Amino acid sequence: MKPTLPPLKRCLPPLLLILACLAMAGCGTTNGGSGGAAPPGAGDGTAVKSGSTTQAAPGGQAAPGTQAGPAGQAAPGGQGPASVEAAPRFRGSIVTGRDAVRKRVRYSWRRGCPVGPVELRLLRADYWGFDKRVHQGELIVHRDHARRILVVLGKLFKARYPIQRLKLVDAYRADDDRSMAANNTSGFNCRRVSGSSSWSEHAFGRAIDLNPLRNPYVTRGGRVSPPAGRPYANRARRAAGMIHANDVVVRAFAAAGWRWGGYWSGSRDYQHFSSTGR
């Protein structure tokens, strides 16, 4: 997982100019057109054909990302439509259907959990991968937060904040250590707080862990979880997917009323956002 490529900086100013022109003059015309906006099928699946769903489109104009780098790079390898044009439009939905959630929480939910599958919602949303391409992922949160989290995902997309994986924790048999080690972003998981008998906020569907390897949990005593995230316990670093105080990610969640574990005192959970602040 290489961080962003410095040589790009050289061509950024002209690119930004072009993008600014497109945004202002409306000369782009590609935004939302023709279904050609997203590069086709790399890896995790990109084709979006949501069924009976609610769409959310946060924010209007196509903005070149405020973060380092990827504004308008052509996809390496040359196939597919190059993305020098307007930014692809975010597609996200709340998947309806009685069993949409139930079928996807076979490992992460069981009887006795504090919320039931009917109280949870499956979100399906576009995100920018570390490969600088658009993918579609899934996330489960409590129904009370589904809409606003979809808006958050839309903002992260617009800012081109990269997410390495967005899979349900069931893909890792609800094993949080495995999910974290894979740098997977996830929400609902009916589990206890690590090293405690109380329910984690994830068990209520009101917490999300974002790029956990790049944003590890660091205890007061210096223990790092996941262990492979140790290089990123140094928060002065700047690498793709890292979250920093008051950045676009923290602000997007804050606007939804969710708070960041990086602001905790003592132990800090840099991957963790929750509606309760716990």
The terminus-to-terminus CA distance of the chain in angstroms comes to 30
**Cβ atoms 95, 51 nearer than 8 A:** yes
Which residues pair with residue 268 across a beta bridge? Answer: 218
Residue 117 gets the label, from left (phi > 0), alpha (psi -120 to 50) or beta, of alpha
* CB closer to Zn ion, 129 vs 261: 261
- Binding part of the chain for Zn ion, among 11-19, 43-51, 125-133, 269-277 by CB under 5 A, reads 269-277
Reply yes or no: is the peptide bond before residue 226 cis, omega within 30 of 0. Answer: yes
DSSP secondary structure code for residue 87 in this structure: P
Residues 176-215 that bind Zn ion (CB under 5 A): 207, 209
CB of 27 to Zn ion, least distance (A): 44
Q: Specify the stretch interacting with Zn ion by CB under 5 A; choose among 72-80, 178-186, 242-250, 264-272.
A: 264-272
* Minimum gap (Å) between residue 211 Cβ and Zn ion: 12
Q: What are the helix (H) ranges across 69-208?
A: 146-158, 176-181
Binders of Zn ion among residues 117 to 156 (CB under 5 A) are none
271, 261 Cβ separation under 8 angstroms:
yes
Output the residue with the shortest Cβ distance to Zn ion.
272
* Per rule CB under 5 A, count of chain residues that contact Zn ion: 3
Is 272 one of the binding residues for Zn ion (CB under 5 A)?
A: yes
Beta carbon nearer to Zn ion, 85 or 269: 269
Smallest distance from Zn ion to CB 208, Å: 7
Q: How far, rounded to the nearest angstrom, does the alpha carbon of residue 154 sit from its chain's CA centroid?
A: 9
Binding residues (CB under 5 A) for Zn ion: these are 207, 209, 272
